[in-house]
Amino acid sequence: MNFTTDKFSGPLDLLLALIQKNKVSIYDIPISTITSQFLDVIASSKQLGLDISSEFLVMATRLMYIKSRMLLPKLSDDNDEEETEADLIRELEEYSQIKSALAAISDRQHIGDNIFTRTQSNIQPNIIDKTFEGINANLLAESLWAISKRQKQNEAPPKQVFTKVMGKQKVSVSSRVEHILGVLRLNKSFKFYEYFNKLKSTSEAVASFLAVLELLKLNEITLDDNGKIELVG
C-alpha cells in the first residue's frame, strides 16, 4: 500500500480513501480490513520518518476499539458498539459531503479563465441627420392620407366572413368562472363529472377545467375525493 499520512488532510480523509480503495460503502464498512490497512499506513509513515499527527493515532485507537467490541459477545442491552460505529459513519458521511462541495467550488473558480471581454470602445457622439430638413407639415399630412387610403383598399375582410371556416369562437376562462359560480349559487353543489358531461364543445370543456382550477386556487370552491364541488363558506 502506497499511502502515507502526509498525503491526507486528516484521519477521516485517509479512512475515506481506504473505503474507496476497497470499493465498499461507508454504511457497510469492513472494520477488520479497514483497521488493518489504517494501521499499515501509520506504520509506513513511521518507517519513512514522517511526523504522525495525534489525530491519526486517536482514529487508530477508535477503530481498534470498534473492532474489539465486534469480536466480543454482544449483550442484549448493550448498544455501545452500534452507537460507536454509527457515530463514525455519520462523521464520514458529513466529511464526504463537505469534500465533494469543496471540489465543486474549486472547479468553478476557473470557469472564467479562458473568457476574454472586449475593451471599452471610444464611442463617438451621434451625428445629426439633416436629410429631412425642409419638409413641412402639409407634405407629411398628404403622405399619411395617401398611405391610409391605400391600406383601406387592401384591408382584410371582417372575421364574420370566416366564421364557418374557423368554427366557433374560443370560450374565455372568466366566462366559465362566472357560470360555475352561478350554478353553485343555485344548486349549492354539483358533481365534477356530471357538470363536464353536459358541456357541448372542447373549448368549453377546457375553459371550464381551467376555471375550476382558478377557483380552487382562489379558495372560492372545494373539491372532495368524490368529485363534489361546493362553495367555500
**Domain assignments of the chain as residue spans, ordered by start:** 5-108, 169-231
With a cut of 80, say whether residue 131 has pLDDT above it: no
The DSSP-derived string for 70-81 is HHSPPPTT--HH
**Of 126 and 188, the one with more pLDDT:** 188
| CA 9 to mean position of chain CA atoms | 33
Q: How far apart, in whole angstroms, are the C-alpha atoms of residue 187 and residue 197?
A: 17
pLDDT at 162: 47
Give residue-wise pLDDT tens across range 132-154: 455 555 655 665 566 556 655 65
Q: Picking from 29-43, 101-115, 150-164, 195-209, which range would have the lowest pLDDT averaged per residue?
A: 150-164
Supply the CATH classification number for the domain 169-231: 1.10.10
In the chain, the amino acid numbered 61 is T
Tens-place pLDDT, residues 78-104: 555 566 788 888 998 998 888 888 877
Query: 19 versus 225: which is more confidently predicted?
Result: 19
pLDDT at 178: 93
How confident is residue 166, by pLDDT bands cut at 50, 70 and 90?
Answer: very low
pLDDT number for residue 8: 82
Share of the chain above pLDDT 90, in %: 4
pLDDT, mean of residues 106-117: 68
Contact yes or no for 209/168 (Cβ under 8 A)? no
Torsion angle, alpha carbons of 26, 32, 38, 43, to 10: 180
Question: For the whole prediction, is pTM greater than 0.75?
Answer: no
